[in-house]
Chains A and B, each alone.
Chain A
Amino acid sequence: SQQGEEDPQALSIQEGENATMNCSYKTSINNLQWYRQNSGRGLVHLILIRSNEREKHSGRLRVTLDTSKKSSSLLITASRAADTASYFCATAFPPSGNTPLVFGKGTRLSVIA
């Protein structure tokens, strides 16, 4: 099944630094989504970027999409301890109808105060 793969698997940074996570996928998409999961909780939708968009911002989040390279990146600026979580990208292929989202294995981000 088509799946996003996040890179790196784990990332540890100091509070105030920027965190960048990458996602690669295999086939054409309609949109790509990023989710956050705090320990012991369900996933929370962060941001969606459509295939005809190259960059999107939401607060301290910046997502880019390069459909020619089949990759996306999530940048969290000025990170905080509360950003400590796992981050997943998700896509649906084929991008229509009943197709469910397929999630990558996630990047585990630790922000050290």
Chain B
Amino acid sequence: DAGITQSPRHKVTETGTPVTLRCHQTENHRYMYWYRQDPGHGLRLIHYSYGVKDTDKGEVSDGYSVSRSKTEDFLLTLESATSSQTSVYFCAIRRGPTYEQYFGPGTRLTVT
């Protein structure tokens, strides 16, 4: 599992509240990713990081921000959660030069 943990694993929150999801890795990998997975859309990239304080937007970044102040942690923040952000969120790391990615167990977020 490449030492990737996500917290929380499940969360229910109300519309308009801020939410922060945490991804933690133990293997010191440079690249980390946040995806969301929804029925009919597959896996879509939200943001990614290629080093401490180095981040970039993915396909569906609107409404999300990220921070990476140390190598092992990559945080995803929903500043003001909306019902459209109800989803399963996966964190991943890239191991090695061939772009193989390893995924965390996911966080199921419900915005009511």
A31 to B96, CA, bound (A): 13
In the complex the two chains form, is B99's CB within 8 Å of A105's CB? no
The range of chain A's interface size is: 20 to 34
Q: Nearest chain A CB to B100's CB is how many angstroms away?
A: 5
Which chain B positions have C-beta within 8 A of A104?
42
Of chain B, the residue at the smallest CB distance from A97 is: B50
Q: Give the shortest distance, in Å, between A30 (CB) and chain B (any CB).
A: 8
What is the minimal beta-carbon distance from A104 to any residue of chain B, in angstroms? 6
Contact A100–B45 (Cβ < 8 Å): yes
B96 nearest CB across to chain A (Å): 10
B70 interfacial by beta-carbon distance below 8 Å: no
B27 interface residue per 8 A CB criterion = no
**Contact residues of B: prevailing secondary structure:** strand
Bound complex: CA A95 to CA B99 (Å): 9
B74 in the interface (beta carbon within 8 A): no
Question: Do B43 and A43 have beta carbons less than 8 Å apart?
Answer: yes
- A58 at interface, CB cutoff 8 A: no
B50, B92, B100, B105: the one within 8 Å of A98 (CB):
B50
Q: Does A100 lie within 8 Å of B106, measured CB to CB?
A: no
Interface centre among B45, B98, B101, by most chain A C-beta atoms within 10 angstroms, is B101
Interface residues of B (CB under 8 A from A): 31, 33, 35, 40-43, 45, 48, 50, 56, 58-59, 90, 92, 94, 98-106
- Listed in ascending order, the chain A residues whose CB lies under 8 Å from chain B are 1, 30-31, 33, 35, 40-45, 48, 88, 90, 92, 95, 98-106
> What are 19 sample pairs from A and B whose C-beta atoms fall under 8 A apart?
A31-B98, A31-B99, A35-B101, A41-B105, A42-B90, A42-B104, A42-B105, A43-B43, A43-B90, A43-B101, A43-B103, A45-B102, A90-B101, A95-B99, A98-B31, A98-B56, A100-B48, A101-B99, A105-B41
